[in-house]
Amino acid sequence: MLRVAVLASGRGSNFVALLEASRAAGAQFNVVGVYSDRADAGALKLAADAGLDTAHLDPRAYADRVGFDLALFERVLRVQPDLIVCAGYMRIISANALARLDVPMINIHPSLLPRYPGLNTHARALAAGDAEHGASVHVVTPELDAGPVIAQARIPIGHNDDAESLAARVLEQEHRLLPACVALYAKGQLQLDHAHVHLNGVQLSAPLQLHDGHLLLSEYT
């Protein structure tokens, strides 16, 4: 069983989706803990209620970003994760701390990267007049939301959409996309590094695409 640690700053719906998937028949991963920079993160309470290891570290208690990140990683590594998943983790992680981490880390981001790294992705997609929007799971690298993209889920943008309706529909996709990516990694089919994603040893030339709950090569979608 793959051991998954989650970093989260907010309500934790992606964490819950992952936890539920880990409890489904045949799942090959366990969520072993949730860690946060926010004492009030809903994800922490949900994880504690589920009996998981949890910790909150306050960034203000550390001299600088790298100090906080190293302390957080030290705490996370106690549960010996095979994979660290950022699920609504809203802090930038320092390059120095990341360089010393030898556990792969992935993130879910609510846009079709490389479009719209950072915040307010739904409003930005609308303002640009995009015909589609979605979510991406990518490898975490020192540059914000810029690591190689593993997989995406796409939705059409309708004439009546506003940022709120788009966010809700993208979130539904996130809840499918993230567990699907972790499940694929747990099966040993994904190889991740800071530059590339390989599927069964073959380098992906484009992100996998989520269709009916399955991750497909983009040429088959």
Which active-site residues does the annotation give? Answer: 109
SS (H, E, C) 126-181: HHCCCCEEEEEEEECCCCCCCCCEEEEEEEECCCCCCHHHHHHHHHHHHHHHHHHH
* 174 lies in the site for ligand GRF, by CB under 6 A: yes
Smallest distance, ligand GRF to C-beta of residue 69, A: 18
The residue among 48, 57, 56, 55 whose CA lies nearest residue 19 is 48
* 180 lies in the site for ligand GRF, by CB under 6 A: no
Interface residue with ligand GRF, options 4, 6, 7, 13 (CB under 6 A): 13
**Stretch binding ligand GRF (CB under 6 A), from 24-32, 50-58, 67-75, 103-111:** 103-111
Nearer to ligand GRF, 121 or 209 (CB): 121
**Stretch binding ligand GRF (CB under 6 A), from 76-84, 106-114, 180-188, 193-201:** 106-114
* 147 lies in the site for ligand GRF, by CB under 6 A: no
Reduced to 3 states, what is the DSSP secondary structure of residue 196?
A: coil
Smallest distance, ligand GRF to C-beta of residue 194, A: 20
Sole residue written with tokens 């695409």: 209
Sole residue written with tokens 């567990």: 179
* 36 lies in the site for ligand GRF, by CB under 6 A: no
Smallest distance, ligand GRF to C-beta of residue 25, A: 24
| Dihedral sign from CA coordinates of 109, 113, 116, 117 | positive
* 88 lies in the site for ligand GRF, by CB under 6 A: yes
**Residues binding ligand GRF: number (CB under 6 A):** 13
DSSP element (H, E) containing 203 = strand 202-203
Peptide bond into 114 cis (omega under 30): yes
Distance CA 1, CA 22 (A): 10
Smallest distance, ligand GRF to C-beta of residue 130, A: 17
Reduced to 3 states, what is the DSSP secondary structure of residue 76?
A: helix
* 145 lies in the site for ligand GRF, by CB under 6 A: no
- Site residues (vs ligand GRF, CB under 6 A): 8, 10-14, 87-88, 108-110, 171, 174
